[in-house]
Amino acid sequence: MDAKTKEVLHWFEEIAKIPRCSKNEEQICAWLASWAQEHGFGVKKDAAGNILIQVPGTEGYESSTPVVIQGHMDMVCEREKGFDFDFSKDPIKLIFDDDGWLRADRTTLGADNGIAIAMAMAISLDEDQPHPPLELLFTVDEETGLTGAVALEPGFLEGKILLNVDSEDEGVFTVGCAGGNDTHISLPVASEPIPAGSKVLRLVAGGLSGGHSGVDIHEQRANAIRVLARGLGDLLKGSDMRILSLKGGTAHNAIPRDAEALIALPGDALKGAQETISELQSALRAECAKTDKDIFVTLEAAEGDQQGLTAADSRKVVDLLLAIPHGVDGYSKEIHGLVETSNNLATAKLEGGKLTLLSSQRSSDMNLLQLLTDRIEALARGFGGEAESGGGYPAWQPNMDSPLLAKCKEVYKELTGREPKVEIIHAGLECGIIGAKYDGMDMISFGPTIKNPHSPQEKLQISTIGQVYQFMGALLEQLK
């Protein structure tokens, strides 16, 4: 491992000790401000909690226009089911595997996007690295709606070039991304005592791969909420099933890995129900062998309230969960293989006399994004529910004639002898929002290789850290 990689990983290990789930960035922000002040760097904060660290240019670059290095402070906080871990206080335990990857112990790693912060810190302190004045912009709450970027005010930045270090494949430059929107659905339901002689059971869907709802949506990984709904639907076909409770999913941009429901079934239906779920599990393991090889569905005895949904509303809940779309809605007609429009059925919860759902839509075409959102709202209304959409953000339209892109391609080719890949991604990036606020900002996104973000299987390829660091340093040297 080279010295530069070790320095980046030193700072990443420090970052991993600090709680920073989305909407809980106060400690990481305070730590960064203290670090900046310790090294004599300027610090600015805004009302949203975003932080800007101002690093002077090195000798010969003092009067150059600042370059913005940008990432986000928050992370998706996911852990394996049953693992006792408190993201509000427990440090993330890092594991360096022999195969050259860095992962966490049964939680998300937080390389998305802590590695951007670590790289920016390391390059700012690198005495061998020439660079223009740097503005290290670290935003809040990117993972739940890019709200930090949305809250940025004109004048907070001076730079005209922005390097976003939030892409996840070394050797790939991202120059455009999808826009997004969330829809919150509320369906009122009625309860009554469960029928006499009923047995309470827990139906669980788990062992799924999950993943990032933008980056991984094309892989057709199973959605635990939909798997649960499928099991509930199968049970309804053979008995008077009642739903007592239901929950699944954790975040708008994570494909749900776990879901469960408490149900009531007539005592004489238990044997048939077990056979039904066993058959479903066998079918799912065949269907999902390449995407979710550890998938399971179980039905077991449980304790629960003697109140459940009415027969009609149990059916309505299952039907809505089965009807809400999930996955790819359409591919680009211009770029082969690029997902244009999709949605993620992200969370579901039954409590307080209503079923609440969160659907997260994405598209690189804002008209198609609105159309999909309208369809989902219409579906909710058709079931007697209410739907409210908001928290949207714009797509980042690519500029293939960007001077920054041309310079990045030139520098990368000189360093590696290889041509970089230039792409548009289906995930959301803050560049679209920042570019809309700062007219004329030339932007690009890149980063080291990260696999399975937004899940406990997240891992970072260590060798690519030094490669990206070297590229960023060479690029900054030429941005005088």
Residue positions annotated with a catalytic role: 74, 142
Residue of 216, 219, 252 whose CA lies nearest to 78? 252
Q: Is there a contact between 393 and 152 (Cβ–Cβ < 8 Å)? A: no
Cis peptide upstream of residue 113 (ω within 30 degrees of 0) = yes
Q: Which two tokens stand for residue 177?
A: 């991304």
Q: Could you tell me which of 219, 216, 218, 305 has the C-alpha nearest to residue 264?
A: 305
Q: Are 231 and 280 in contact (CB under 8 A)?
A: yes
Question: In terms of DSSP bridges, do strands 386-393 and 179-188 run parallel, antiparallel, or are they unpaired?
Answer: antiparallel
Which residues are registered as beta bridge partners of 260?
204, 247
DSSP per-residue letters across 417-463: SSPPEEEEESS--THHHHHHHSTT-EEEE----EESTTSTT-EEEHH
Closest CA to 345 of 363, 328, 361, 326: 326
Residues 6+ apart with CB under 8 A from 426: 177, 178, 214, 215, 217, 218, 338, 339, 340, 342, 362, 364
Q: Kindly report the CA angle at 435 between 124 and 475, in degrees rounded to 5?
A: 35
Strands 51-55 and 459-461, bridge-based pairing:
unpaired
Q: Is 231 left (phi over 0), alpha (psi -120 to 50) or beta?
A: alpha
Rounded to the nearest 10 degrees, the angle between the axes of helix 403-416 and helix 462-477 is: 120
Contact at 8 Å (CB) between 93 and 105? yes
Question: Helix or strand or coil: residue 251?
Answer: coil
Instruction: Give the span between the Cα atoms of 360 and 373, in whole angstroms.
Output: 9
